[in-house]
A and B are shown apart, each in its own frame.
Chain A
Amino acid sequence: MSLLRAEEISVHFGGVKAVQEVSFSVEQGEVFSIVGPNGAGKTTIFNLVSRIYDCTHGHVFFEDQDITRVPTHAVADLGIARTFQNTELFEQESVLNNLLIGCHVHRNTNLLSELFFLPSVRRQELDFRQKVEDVIDLLDLQSYREQIIGNLPYGVRKMVEIARALCLQPKLLLLDEPSSGLNPEETDDLSFWLEDINEELGITVIMVEHDMNLVTQASDRVMALADGHMVTIGEPQEVQNHPEVLRAYLGD
């Protein structure tokens, strides 16, 4: 059973065919990368899987459940977390609050017990705080705990966004250009963290990425897209040397 399976998904915006009949499947425990020139439809595929856009055709299955029409907010509960190319965080809150809210999808207390902060709520909050602390340790965010997002440098924000996604305790993590805007040193760190996330936490990762070094280092398999079509899927080296991929990137 594949963790995620896309069957001939397409999306059209008016006359623009952004993604056309793309099929792929991602296995449990993989790091799967999507590459392609700008406008190839990489982020659009993320938006289809994470239910921002509706597929015009095709189906998406997660753990063999058809998620093509589930509401956007239900994606987190299914076990899919994502980040965005330009980070979407709660800018006026601290790092800690941003991470804690990631845990809230797992909260199972009711309104009244929350209003009176009953022991059950207290226990759960402590539990969440512990989980957040684990994630902070994993991604080395200790020194930023109390800082407001708006005051943080871009590289740190990107890590906070990944941290928040991890707090959801997802089975599948979608990373949209995790290295964009990072300096080479930060990108190196990122590739180690990706390994930790994948191997220690056992989270399956799909990422859209331009940095071919990072892609080759971190991914098990790569899918190349061009103009909304799938060009090829395979091991990183294979894909990098595929004649059509070269043509898509470099022109004829």
Chain B
Amino acid sequence: MEVLQLLISGISQGCVYGLIALGFVLIYKATEMVNFAQGDIMMLGAYVAITFISLWEVPYYWAVPATILVMATVGVILERVLLRPMIGEPHFAVLMLTIGLGFVLRALAGAIWGNEPRALPMPYVGDVLRLGEVVIGYENLAIILGTALLCLLMWLFFSFTRIGIAMQAASQNQLAAFYVGIPVKRMFSLVWALSAAIAALAGILTAPVSLVDPLIGFVGIKAFAAAIVGGFGSMPGAIIGGLLVGVVEQFAGLYLPPGFSDMSAYVLLLVMLVIRPQGLFATMQKKKV
């Protein structure tokens, strides 16, 4: 029973890693840039939700879509203002830019909302679901269900909609995409919107479990490891990699001496790089954005 309980909390933590990893992968696949501010965008999303709910007293279920919308807009603005002028610049410059962006966002969040941890009030916190001897908190359940729903939506979006297919096309071959009539630059803005929206969702879902402070974005580094484990460039790989990191972390926390839990994501990353450098889903990256 203990194992099952650990597995579930591992999965719920892993979903958060997976969502952030998904943001990494989306942007990388489309624009070949790695956005190291992905975790900080999640942090910003959590703060925007807190602002809506605590400060402006917007009902929770309205605040969630509002936050996602606001963050998607932030994503578009970041792409238009910061990233688009960087097209054609060396990858290293873009990398430094996103790392710098992370610093700016953290400082900005500290200045606006303060450095003390804040809680995100939510309607279902504290309730639990009992399945036999396994107890699942509603906040963990929300993470798992929210992630599952998002995966389903993303799959539908990328397989069936014209925009989804256009996004895949633009990420595979920009020239070819132009001449089948796809506005490639608009697709890049959309990719940033999508990945910021996903990060916002991750922030909203994780906020009730871990309090929100300007530094929670550092979880993005673990998510980065998860994305590589999954085979950087594969969307299902990002989620599976996230789940793997989450579960391994939980078990390391119980069975290994203290300290190993925080390290386990990177140990997993190193092991993966040694035995299968292309990551879990390298062959499947063919098909997905």
Residues on A facing B (Cβ under 8 Å)? 50, 52, 71-77, 81-82, 84, 88-93, 101-102, 104-105, 107, 109, 111, 114-115, 117, 164-165, 168
Contacts and interface: CB of A to CB of B under 8 A. Distances in A.
29 contacts: A50-B179, A73-B177, A73-B181, A73-B182, A73-B183, A73-B184, A74-B181, A75-B178, A75-B179, A76-B178, A84-B175, A88-B173, A88-B175, A90-B173, A91-B172, A92-B172, A93-B172, A101-B169, A102-B180, A104-B165, A104-B166, A104-B180, A104-B181, A105-B180, A105-B181, A114-B161, A114-B162, A115-B156, A164-B180
Interface residues of B, number: 23
A71 B186 CA distance: 11
Contacts of B163: 111
B278 to A, nearest CB: 15
Given A91-B173, A104-B165, A117 B160 contact: yes
Contact of B161 (A81, A84, A105, A115): A115
B103 interface: no
Contacts of B183: 71, 73
Given A91-B173, A101-B169, A76 B161 contact: no
Nearest to A106: B181
A42 to B, nearest CB: 17
A71 B179 CA distance: 11
Nearest to B287: A92
A175 to B, nearest CB: 12
Given A91-B173, A109-B162, A82 B179 contact: yes
Interface of B: 156-157, 160-163, 165-166, 169, 172-173, 175-184, 286-287
Contact of A89 (B157, B161, B176): B176
Given A77-B181, A84-B175, A88-B175, 6 more contacts: A88-B173, A92-B286, A109-B162, A114-B162, A115-B160, A165-B179
Contacts of B286: 92
Given A76-B181, A101-B165, A89 B160 contact: no
Contact of A111 (B161, B177, B179, B287): B161
A91 B157 CA distance: 21
A50 B286 CA distance: 29
B141 to A, nearest CB: 25
A-B complex: 4 closest residue pairs judged by Cβ atoms: A76-B181, A105-B181, A88-B176, A73-B183
A81 B181 CA distance: 9
B171 to A, nearest CB: 10
A92 B162 CA distance: 18
Nearest to A50: B179
Nearest to A51: B178
Looking at B166, B172, B181, B287, which has the most chain A CB atoms within 10 Å of its CB? B181
B191 to A, nearest CB: 16
Contacts of B180: 76, 101-102, 104-105, 164, 168
A231 B256 CA distance: 79
A90 B179 contact: no
Nearest to A115: B156
Contacts of B160: 114-115, 117
Nearest to B187: A73
Given A89-B176, A101-B169, A104-B165, A168 B181 contact: yes
A12 to B, nearest CB: 19
Contacts of A93: 172
A81 B286 CA distance: 26
A76 B169 CA distance: 15
